[in-house]
Amino acid sequence: MCAVEIPAEHGHVADLEASSLVCACRACYLLFTHAQAGRGRYRAIPDRYLYDPERTLTVAQWDQFDIPVGLAFFLRSSERGEVTGFYPSPAGATECILDLHAWDRLAEDYPLLGAAAPDVEAALICRTDAGVEYFLVPIDACYELAGRMRLHWRGFDGGSEARESIAQFLGNVRARARVFSREA
């Protein structure tokens, strides 16, 4: 954004008009931590990772969304005022049709799902044979996941390299996640 060299560890800013992410130095990142900065076009992406050990999602609750894969993220758009679901695929982040009434009911029962800041945070849900996990994560983490899928996916089932990369990503999310409270 400015012309300063950006270090390896840096923040991201969402360009809401272009639906893209921009790497930012610390000063530029801080400029856009308020929703109205830059006339609302740019928003700094927070670094919150949260989970809620008090409320466990069931496989049946996940299945009501008819998402054909076991990993998806859900983003609330401030412009449209609704939640959109995406799942990472070899083609990138694929948008999925979402029953918004079902999502709203689920978010009432699971407040973490509705706690994501619009446009810059998402609910990440992962269904495995062991059950369903869900987290609040920065949106840049979701696009990292989609990038990993594009980079490592091979064949019909993704292959061992893709599975290992996804497991590593989810391990990082688990390690960074803090317990959710309504004040978080």
pLDDT at 184: 47
Average of per-residue pLDDT across 58-76: 87
Planar angle of CA 12, 148, 139, nearest 5 degrees: 30
**Cα 44 versus chain centre, distance:** 14
12 pLDDT tier (thresholds 50, 70, 90): very high
pTM of the model: 0.89
The answer to whether 116 and 103 have CB atoms below 8 angstroms apart is no
DSSP 114-138: H-SPTTTEEEEEEEETTEEEEEEEE
Give the phi and the psi of residue 41 in degrees, each rounded to 5. Answer: -75, -40
pLDDT at 121: 96
**Cα 87 to Cα 158: distance, rounded to the nearest angstrom:** 14
The answer to whether 16 and 42 have CB atoms below 8 angstroms apart is yes
**Cα 109 to Cα 61: distance, rounded to the nearest angstrom:** 11
pLDDT at 183: 63
**Cα 130 to Cα 83: distance, rounded to the nearest angstrom:** 26
Average of per-residue pLDDT across 72-95: 87
Average pLDDT, the chain: 89
pLDDT in tens, 99-157: 888 888 899 999 999 999 999 999 999 998 888 999 999 999 998 998 898 888 888 77
